């Protein structure tokens, strides 16, 4: 199975995460996809394949050398809740000509809006029909990792360290690492395969947090309000 075939198979799964949910994973559909991936990893002959109750998958491809280093590759299974993730209908554009891409009668990817697509002129591009997300974030990463592992498994002449694989839920809603068992994963270092150009490596990132703040003002009758009334909006602006 090629990496494209694998990717097209994966995007058929609706794995939209839900920020309103308090469960892990936040949607049952992610667990359905996780079970499918677990089965594939077992069929590939990997060892220590596990899927925990929270939807985290781990597996190991043992080293074929005396190298004691363990390297990890991680990707996430969920897609963003900002747009529809159901009934994904991929379209393959062969030998992209560098022009605007019409997804449907209402939606067109314009080169003026997305000039970066010109970098892929002459290559094949996969899009949706405009009615859903594609899910390349991050099913492309999952497809890449599993296809690479399959290749290494078939080509034992390629020397490799121990390779750990980790697939996580709920990354799109900021919870991807919440229940990730770093000790169990056991990698000396790891890479997240999630977007970016071919050959690009990001080694730093910003950190962000979410806070819900209530600002209490003071309501006083306007006739007596001077130096007493406090506007909550103005306080929030100062904050």
pLDDT of 3 reads: 97
Q: Decide if 35 is inside a domain.
A: yes
Q: Decide if 162 is inside a domain.
A: yes
Do 69 and 26 share a domain, yes or no?
yes
For residues 70-92, give the mean pLDDT.
97
Instruction: Report pLDDT digits (tens) over 105-115.
Output: 999 999 999 99
Do 81 and 137 share a domain, yes or no?
yes
Helices (H), 44-197: 136-154, 182-185
Which has more pLDDT, 195 or 136?
136
Do 72 and 168 share a domain, yes or no?
yes
Q: Decide if 56 is inside a domain.
A: yes
pLDDT of 195 reads: 82
* 50: CATH: 3.40.630.10
Query: Counting runs of H as helices and runs of E as strands, what totals does the chain give?
Result: 5, 9
Do 109 and 98 share a domain, yes or no?
yes
pLDDT of 207 reads: 79
* Residue 210 pLDDT class (50, 70, 90 cuts): confident
End-to-end CA distance of the chain: 55
Instruction: Report pLDDT digits (tens) over 113-133.
Output: 999 999 999 999 999 999 999
pLDDT(7) > 90: yes
**How many domains does the structure of the chain reveal?**
3
Do 46 and 119 share a domain, yes or no?
no
Helix (H, G, I), strand (E, B) or coil at 217: coil
Do 70 and 142 share a domain, yes or no?
yes
Do 48 and 114 share a domain, yes or no?
no
Confidence (pTM)? 0.87
Which class for 17: exposed (0-12), middle (13-18), buried (19 or more C-beta within 10 A)? buried
* Residue 90 pLDDT class (50, 70, 90 cuts): very high
Peptide bond into 25 cis (omega under 30): yes
pLDDT(85) > 80: yes
For residues 141-168, give the mean pLDDT.
98
pLDDT of 199 reads: 86
Which has more pLDDT, 67 or 187?
187
Do 49 and 101 share a domain, yes or no?
no
DSSP assignment of 7-32 equals HHHHTTS--B--TT--SSSSSHHHHH
pLDDT(206) > 90: no
Range of the domain at 121: 91-127
pLDDT(16) > 90: yes
Q: Catalytic residue numbers?
A: 78, 171
Order across the sheet with 189-192: list the strands.
Answer: 47-51, 57-61, 162-168, 70-76, 189-192
pLDDT of 145 reads: 98
């Amino acid at each position: 199975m090629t990496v494209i075939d694998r990717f097209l198979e994966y995007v058929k799964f609706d794995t939209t995460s839900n920020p309103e949910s308090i469960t892990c994973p936040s949607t049952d559909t992610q667990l359905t996809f996780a079970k499918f991936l677990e089965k594939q990893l077992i069929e590939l002959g990997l060892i220590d394949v596990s899927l925990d109750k929270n939807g985290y998958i781990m597996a190991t491809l043992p080293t074929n050398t005396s190298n004691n280093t363990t390297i990890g590759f991680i990707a996430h299974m969920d897609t963003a809740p900002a747009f529809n993730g159901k009934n994904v209908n991929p379209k393959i554009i062969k030998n992209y000509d560098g022009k605007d891409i019409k997804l449907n009668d209402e939606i067109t990817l314009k080169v003026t809006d997305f000039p970066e697509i010109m970098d892929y002129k002459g290559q094949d591009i996969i899009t949706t029909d405009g009615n859903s997300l594609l899910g390349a974030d991050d099913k492309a990463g999952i497809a890449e990792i599993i296809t690479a592992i399959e290749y290494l498994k078939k080509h034992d002449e390629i020397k490799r360290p121990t390779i750990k694989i980790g697939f996580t839920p709920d990354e799109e809603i900021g919870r991807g690492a919440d229940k990730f068992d770093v000790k169990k994963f056991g990698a000396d270092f790891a890479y997240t395969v999630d977007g970016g150009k071919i050959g690009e490596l990001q080694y730093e990132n910003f950190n962000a947090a979410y806070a819900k703040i209530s600002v209490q003002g003071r309501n006083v009758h306007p006739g007596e309000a001077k130096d007493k009334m406090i506007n909550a909006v103005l306080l929030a602006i100062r904050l």
